[in-house]
Structure 1
Amino acid sequence: MTTTFPGFQSADIGANMVRQRTLILLRWMAIAGQVAAILVASQVYGLQLPLGLCALAVGLSVVANLVLIMLFPETRRLSEAEAFLTLLFDLGQLSFLLFLTGGLTNPFAILVLAPVTISASVLRLRSTVVLGALAILAVSTATVWYLPLRFADGTALVIPGIFAFGFWLSIVIGILFLGLYSRRVATEMRSMSEALLATQMALAREQKLTDLAGVVAAAAHELGTPLATIKLVSAELIAELDAQPELQEDARLIREQADRCRDILRDMGRAGKDDLHLRQAPLSAVLREAAEPHLSRGKQVDFAFAPIQDGAEEQPSILRRPEVIHGLRNLVQNAVDFARSSVWVEGEWTARRIIVRITDDGDGFPPGLIGRIGDPFVRARRSDPDVEKRPGYEGMGLGLFIAKTLLERSGADLSFANATDPFLAPKERPERSGAVVEAVWDANDLIAPPTQGGLGENTRIEG
């Protein structure tokens, strides 16, 4: 299912994801490593290197870093194009340095993986594919076109062809594997972060609605006495102003407006009060409240409440927690969206457990996705019949993720299943043939604590 929140939009991958300072720091590390490798190769092992050209290659990176530091603040976040060009420059500089230092006979050729891995983590797929293709092209070119490494006596370093081929193949496979792996992990982390943000917004919205209802009801309670006084005084004025019809009409108007204020406040306060009685409610009342927005959407929603055989007979009174109500509401919405005609909401309890089960008569969960239900942004290609059944559904799984997260936060253990085999013929299916979602709470997590000496006086809402 999907849930929309004002002000929440999925982050655009690659847009302002990387700070300039991060890439500058990585480049300084690469420069230090390149300088150390060149000095060790030439001074310790006596390899003949074109030191002037090598210094030019390293100097280009130094100049690029200094220019970026002078022109832009280090905390600046790079755009997609800027990050791509930065990584492309690093790839080109490294490829030029490999050309000068033996191509794939240089073991540091493996570092060509770095720009591709960074791109896969922070840039769009298109940019990563282009950078990966260029990296493979650079590595392939380095196998045949390079300045060979020469020892102090002038002999060239030659490696067997099969070794060169194996090194080339390992780098290409590394580019593909690490690119896919890094992108997959980064995408899932971003999806989880965005989904958790949406969950927090959903809970905050539900809490605000609950608080608003309490404020309105408290205002109605506090204004009840002055409105009653106004009505009483206006009635006395009406009785005393028989000889002055104009003033008597004004008094009647005052009484009518007082009655109108009373009715408005009564209607506004129907959603609830900051009343100790309404901080808890029977299990049946909470489930009906959660399902209420979806009762008039053209599907039959049936409720059933009963104790399990070894449980307590009396229906438990549970806390009206916003996360529980919002989570159950999302599950009911999902069931109503996909049901053919009916949805069943059942509440059961024992002395130790509370069980809520939501079933529909639709096609059930896709068998291949049951194990992934509750993951955010699960996408699946939709067939034309699915589009006709639920045209507004985007298939991202965010609503179920929010419901699962909120209910598990309240202590629930959720399970998802199908009521029957989805491959049965329509005539062979029982009435309850669709998806089944079951939430089980430990009674201590949900049942309202007992109060001593009654619930006491209602509390004033401050602020």
Structure 2
Amino acid sequence: MAEQTATPFKSRQSGGWIRLRTLVLLRWWAIVGQASALMIAARVYNLNLEIGLCFLVVGVSVVSNLVAAFVFAENKRLSEQDTLMVVLFDMLQLGLLLYLTGGLNNPFSILIVGPVTVSASALSSRSTAFLGLMAILIVSLLMLFYLPLRTEQGFILRVPDVFRFGNWVAIVIAVVFLGVYSRWIVQEMHTMSDALQATQMALAREQKLTDLGGVVAAAAHELGTPLATIKLASAELAEELSDSPDLREDALLIVQQTDRCRDILRSMGRAGKDDLHLRTAPLTALIEEAAEPHVDRGKRIHFDHAAGEGDLLSQPNVLRRPEVIHGLRNLIQNAVDFARENVWVESSWNDKAITIRIMDDGRGYPPHLLGRIGDPFMRRRSVGNDPRRPEYEGMGLGLFIAKTLLERSGADLSFANGSDSFKTQASHSARTGAFVEVIWARSAIEAPSSADSSPLGENQPFPT
């Protein structure tokens, strides 16, 4: 399907997939770092700190880690709210420790950005925004309220106010920028993951349909000879029973039912061409097979197949790959969905490349989206509701699937509007809608020639 009309993948929930053990291990690393920094400041640099209160704050983190390790199961996964509370606790603990060690005069104040980055990677946008505001509130309070850093001789260590203000501005910018940056990256990864999952599902479905068609085609091939024998024998029997009307009628009934079996197998096997002898097909047959489900949907599909200009090459035989059929079918459906009356499917080839072009007479792609065609979960092709498809809620997933599958087969795709591409060609003036060009190197899709191929052998059963 060129655009998925079904409900798109729901965004994955942030909660329920973060292990408590992961956050506990990260907190142990933070505890080691905090304790080491306090010991070095007190013993090496002889700073006069409220060392008791500082280690009390660190001890709270130690106790919380021990409780988490011994009370909860090792494989416990946190919900959205649980993860938010854990990250908020770490942020408040760090803020209190900074209050006891000089506020924004402490160079470690930049670490307040860490919990926000973790939140952007693991929690929802609402939780990330809340933690970002909390981080900005904490550093703003640390601008005004803190215990000064004192040396052993009683001197107060502080940076000039302009630098302290600059430190505040830098932290606020880091909170906003890293939070938004991390959130966008994670959302892009999740979107791409969901889209690739949809692509794999579409390919698996196409493969199953192809395999099922292969079973039907193989059955028709294998049953053809015995059915022909039954028909011949029953027809001869009917001639010999001319003097027995009842028996002759039964023999003719066998002939009729044999013909019926033949027709049923032929009908069922129309789309099933994965027989060993039909794993390849002429290029035109492949294109028409991909377009077949959309031929009778009220739009005229025009096929134009020809070798490239100046070439006398015969039509190439290509591999019947499920991803190629499904990808082309998606593109053709997209053209049929948005066309007014006509869709054109052209193919051409030369000694180096095979090209397929799909065009329609619709309104085409919005110009501002041309550069994003093929991205998953983008907005619909036409701005606003399409009167021809009032209930349409496509998000670009179908085009992404088609693009991904065809590129996997070695194709290069380009998207444009016919009104721009053919405005100087009078013969193509009606092709004002979307224009998709798919190009393969012949070596990527062409089937081996009969001179290079080995005997196929007997049909093999599908693995179970």
Structures share fold, TM-score greater than 0.5? yes
1:296 corresponding residue in structure 2:
296
Return 133-142 or 48-57, whichever deviates more.
48-57
2:355 corresponding residue in structure 1:
355
Q: 1:325 to 1:106 in 2, by over 3 A?
A: same
Q: 1:244 to 1:313 in 2, by over 3 A?
A: closer
User: Aligned ranges for residues 270-349 of structure 1 at < 5 Å?
Assistant: 270-349=270-349
Return 48-57 or 105-114, whichever deviates more.
48-57
1:460 corresponding residue in structure 2:
460
Return the alpha-carbon distance in structure 2 between the equivalents of residues 366 and 243 of structure 1. 75
2:393 corresponding residue in structure 1:
394
- 1:2 corresponds to 2:6: no
Q: Is the 2:113–2:171 contact (alpha carbons within 8 Å) kept by the matching residues of 1?
A: yes
Q: Is the 2:98–2:104 contact (alpha carbons within 8 Å) kept by the matching residues of 1?
A: yes
Cα shift readout 1:240-290 (whole Å, capped 9, x = no counterpart) = 798896x99888877766555444333222222443442222211111111
Q: 1:228 to 1:157 in 2, by over 3 A?
A: same
Return the alpha-carbon distance in structure 1 between the equivalents of residues 160 and 381 of structure 2. 49
Q: Is the 1:412–1:440 contact (alpha carbons within 8 Å) kept by the matching residues of 2?
A: yes
Q: Is the 2:348–2:354 contact (alpha carbons within 8 Å) kept by the matching residues of 1?
A: yes
1:20 corresponding residue in structure 2:
20
**What amino acid is aligned across from residue 407 of structure 1 in structure 2?**
L
Return the alpha-carbon distance in structure 2 between the equivalents of residues 371 and 195 of structure 1. 18
**What amino acid is aligned across from residue 202 of structure 2 in structure 1?**
A
User: Aligned ranges for residues 39-438 of structure 1 at < 5 Å?
Assistant: 39-227=39-227, 260-379=260-379, 383-384=383-384, 386-421=385-420, 430-438=429-437
Return the alpha-carbon distance in structure 1 between the equivalents of residues 50 and 68 of structure 2. 28
TM-superposed CA distance for 1:205, in Å, is 1.2
Identical aligned residues as a percent: 58
Q: 1:100 to 1:262 in 2, by over 3 A?
A: same
**What amino acid is aligned across from residue 445 of structure 2 in structure 1?**
L
1:444 corresponding residue in structure 2:
443
Q: Is the 1:411–1:442 contact (alpha carbons within 8 Å) kept by the matching residues of 2?
A: yes
TM-superposed CA distance for 1:110, in Å, is 0.5
Q: Is the 1:19–1:77 contact (alpha carbons within 8 Å) kept by the matching residues of 2?
A: yes
Q: Is the 1:47–1:152 contact (alpha carbons within 8 Å) kept by the matching residues of 2?
A: yes
Q: 1:381 to 1:413 in 2, by over 3 A?
A: closer
Q: Is the 2:306–2:349 contact (alpha carbons within 8 Å) kept by the matching residues of 1?
A: yes
Q: Is the 1:274–1:459 contact (alpha carbons within 8 Å) kept by the matching residues of 2?
A: no
Cα shift readout 1:122-159 (whole Å, capped 9, x = no counterpart) = 21111111111111111111111122222212333232
Q: 1:79 to 1:167 in 2, by over 3 A?
A: same
Cα shift readout 1:142-197 (whole Å, capped 9, x = no counterpart) = 11112222221233323221111110000000000001111111111111122112
**What amino acid is aligned across from residue 42 of structure 1 in structure 2?**
A
Q: Is the 1:13–1:122 contact (alpha carbons within 8 Å) kept by the matching residues of 2?
A: no
Q: 1:415 to 1:127 in 2, by over 3 A?
A: same
Return 49-58 or 389-398, whichever deviates more.
389-398
Q: Is the 2:347–2:357 contact (alpha carbons within 8 Å) kept by the matching residues of 1?
A: yes
Cα shift readout 1:348-395 (whole Å, capped 9, x = no counterpart) = 1111111111111222222222222222222369744x3433334334
Q: 1:455 to 1:17 in 2, by over 3 A?
A: same
Q: 1:379 to 1:135 in 2, by over 3 A?
A: farther
Return 310-319 or 203-212, whichever deviates more.
310-319
Q: Is the 2:271–2:289 contact (alpha carbons within 8 Å) kept by the matching residues of 1?
A: no
Return the alpha-carbon distance in structure 1 between the equivalents of residues 454 and 271 of structure 2. 23
Return the alpha-carbon distance in structure 2 between the equivalents of residues 121 and 410 of structure 1. 34
TM-superposed CA distance for 1:297, in Å, is 2.2
Q: 1:260 to 1:300 in 2, by over 3 A?
A: closer
**What amino acid is aligned across from residue 4 of structure 2 in structure 1?**
T
TM-superposed CA distance for 1:220, in Å, is 2.9
Return the alpha-carbon distance in structure 1 between the equivalents of residues 370 and 313 of structure 2. 34
Cα shift readout 1:284-323 (whole Å, capped 9, x = no counterpart) = 1111111122222222211111111232342222111111
Return the alpha-carbon distance in structure 2 between the equivalents of residues 235 and 67 of structure 1. 87
Q: Is the 1:378–1:397 contact (alpha carbons within 8 Å) kept by the matching residues of 2?
A: yes
CA root-mean-square deviation:
3.0
Return the alpha-carbon distance in structure 2 between the equivalents of residues 358 and 455 of structure 1. 36
Return the alpha-carbon distance in structure 2 between the equivalents of residues 137 and 379 of structure 1. 37
TM-score of the superposition, structure 1-length normalised?
A: 0.89
**What amino acid is aligned across from residue 127 of structure 2 in structure 1?**
S
Structure 1 regions of 5+ residues with no counterpart?
Answer: none
TM-superposed CA distance for 1:331, in Å, is 1.1
TM-score of the superposition, structure 2-length normalised?
A: 0.89
**What amino acid is aligned across from residue 86 of structure 2 in structure 1?**
T
Return the alpha-carbon distance in structure 2 between the equivalents of residues 365 and 134 of structure 1. 43
Q: Is the 2:299–2:341 contact (alpha carbons within 8 Å) kept by the matching residues of 1?
A: yes
Q: SS of 1:389's equivalent?
A: coil
Structure 2 regions of 5+ residues with no counterpart?
Answer: none
Q: 1:172 to 1:339 in 2, by over 3 A?
A: same
Q: Is the 1:120–1:182 contact (alpha carbons within 8 Å) kept by the matching residues of 2?
A: yes
Return 290-299 or 317-326, whichever deviates more.
290-299
**What amino acid is aligned across from residue 296 of structure 1 in structure 2?**
D
Q: Is the 1:42–1:48 contact (alpha carbons within 8 Å) kept by the matching residues of 2?
A: yes
**What amino acid is aligned across from residue 271 of structure 1 in structure 2?**
A
Q: 1:258 to 1:125 in 2, by over 3 A?
A: same
Aligned residues: 455
**What amino acid is aligned across from residue 117 of structure 2 in structure 1?**
T
Q: Is the 1:218–1:461 contact (alpha carbons within 8 Å) kept by the matching residues of 2?
A: no
Q: SS of 1:270's equivalent?
A: coil
Q: SS of 2:149's equivalent?
A: coil
TM-superposed CA distance for 1:410, in Å, is 1.0
Return the alpha-carbon distance in structure 1 between the equivalents of residues 92 and 381 of structure 2. 39
Return the alpha-carbon distance in structure 2 between the equivalents of residues 243 and 394 of structure 1. 67
Return the alpha-carbon distance in structure 2 between the equivalents of residues 365 and 74 of structure 1. 52
